Structure 1
């Protein structure tokens, strides 16, 4: 074959390859846009990372949705018990942890399962022992890239739901049926998740909500105690740190309000300590201990716009629940006092929720978890039996 013939054949082959209408053309499908619950990264957990009762597990970074509807990512762990999944898939408990800090790495999954100095491992292990898979979100910004907004209810609720979607990609043997469970701020998170699930995650089968000592009805408290004239009070030491964390999160979610302008120079200094994250909560708790609460502020948080923003940011929804709710509350709790949960129960019932409240006469904010074991076991068996 002459060189000119070879050239013509090569040119014809190139034209055919470029033509969009050749009979042999192969269409390349575009990947679907990334959405909530899609996995960004996943790896098996090492034996050292597994908690008691977990035969295997995965570290997951997944896509979710932030407080204002923006795309975001979160991290979390999936723990799986031993044995084969039952017909229909293994049922899931999606766990939301309590206060653990504001900076990346300050999440129980990456810090020995400790939140607020309390070890949550026995609670998760108890679910595993009953045959449930446990998916434990870090929330946005604590276990992956992003900024953590403390008590931002919509963001946390989305992370609680989206880890269930992500978990089914890591282990297709998981069921779509889930119970949402959380303690303290996690109790608030799962209530937000349950109320938003019918619209945000209609693909999930949310069977019930276990909310232990949930953070609720605190927006009015914050406005009432946020002023430069307030004295020191030992019972308020923990509240100082939480108010700083709330204001920092609110400022990130609603920068147009300039919430941090209400802090004094010392208050801003304490906020910097909190955001530095040394010992997660340890350094900031030591720095504010015994100091007057009013020292945080240059002026009161009396602006009605800030009050409305706080309610929108962290106020527990009182309508929209399609699954039963069980609130579990210690009577002598000094972190989330019982009256706030009594009020929450009344609000949920008035909003049409199937909500029940169990009180424990000697349970503190932290011992409510083991003391409520019989009640949460009965609730789980009732709404999502593991068969």
Structure 2
């Protein structure tokens, strides 16, 4: 445990915790987590905890970690996607919550194994391990926590409930998923259709790139769990050749590698196969990790899902359909949409609703 730089405006103490967590292959691995604790006297029972998960900062480069960047986003803001993560964590601290923000398995200065991108169990255990490490580091933290995340972090937060009983000393009070990255195959299909029907070349190229991006992320995540998997089973040579570089970069530059290659070859780009998501290994990976692809996935604890209508990465119609399926199973999901909000502006748009949800469920 070491002191950490406190972002400007935080009235809090910050520490970098080095601990262990279960890894994706059944062992233990080093992990790093940022712990932020409000200054002042803890309330009776200790500071309630928000376990907060960041969005996609990289397909696989361990240095693209929140703890290594002042904006707490692994380079998103630096590379041109202002994340507003500092704002969100600051709002949580001002509301009286301690925040644990894990780098996630495979990310951060201490990481020694691969980053299992999109791995639901890995992400859930990263968050739970972060809560446990935070309580060991600071005796003034409560045993009650909420899971929360943005984009892929929102997807990971949705998976915590399934593993909450692995830490029986802790109480999960609820989950907040901000624009959760789910419905991957449907997202790829959407962009594929957009590319086919576009009336201008630039729009077609952008949509084509976004389709390839979905498959590249999933192939990288699958190979982290199953190194023997050959990505060429789901994609052509042009996209497969990009994967080593793609995996080694932070998010924005990783997207840029695919964008440049797609623009160079246009419709001739040999990328995702038409039936890529039906490959037996990929289908199993999506069923295990994408809650929208699992017929058995449901939630039993209070959950808030927030979604902007102008999000170009996580698509509102797909999130709405996913939430409707959950509600059809009786899941206690509150769903809020924000007209005109995009992938990052939704953080400020939803802030009041997020804080109200947390306040309500920590009070129970």
TM over 0.5: yes
Deviation at 1:151, TM superposition (A): 0.8
The list of structure 1 runs, each at least 4 consecutive aligned residues, that deviate by more than 6 angstroms after superposition, is 223-226
- TM-score normalized by structure 1? 0.80
2 CA distance for matches of 1:377 and 1:221?
A: 29
Is 1:105 equivalent to 2:63 in the alignment?
Answer: yes
Deviations 1:281-313 (A, max 9, x none): 243322222614872537442424432332213
How many corresponding residue pairs?
339
Deviations 1:155-181 (A, max 9, x none): 111101110011000001100101111
Is 1:203 equivalent to 2:169 in the alignment?
Answer: yes
Deviations 1:85-126 (A, max 9, x none): 111111011100011012111012212223542231000000
Alignment of 1:1-387 (within 5 A): 42-45=1-4, 48-50=5-7, 52-101=9-58, 102-112=60-70, 113-114=72-73, 116=76, 117=81, 118-143=83-108, 144-198=111-165, 200-222=166-188, 232-277=204-249, 280-289=250-259, 291=262, 292=266, 295-297=269-271, 299-300=273-274, 301=276, 302-315=278-291, 319=297, 321-385=299-363
CA RMSD of aligned residues (A): 2.7
Deviations 1:107-156 (A, max 9, x none): 12212223542231000000001111010011111112221121111111
SS in 1 for 2:134: helix
- TM-score normalized by structure 2? 0.84
Structure 2: which 5+ runs fail to align? none
Structure 1: which 5+ runs fail to align? 1-41
Alignment match, 1:18 = none
SS in 2 for 1:365: coil
Aligned 8 A contact 1:248 1:260 in 2: no
Deviation at 1:270, TM superposition (A): 1.7
Deviations 1:244-293 (A, max 9, x none): 1221110221345433444433323321221232xx22433222226148
Alpha carbons of 1:239 and 1:125: their partners in 2 closer, same or farther (altered >3 Å)? farther
2 CA distance for matches of 1:265 and 1:236?
A: 16
2 CA distance for matches of 1:261 and 1:104?
A: 26
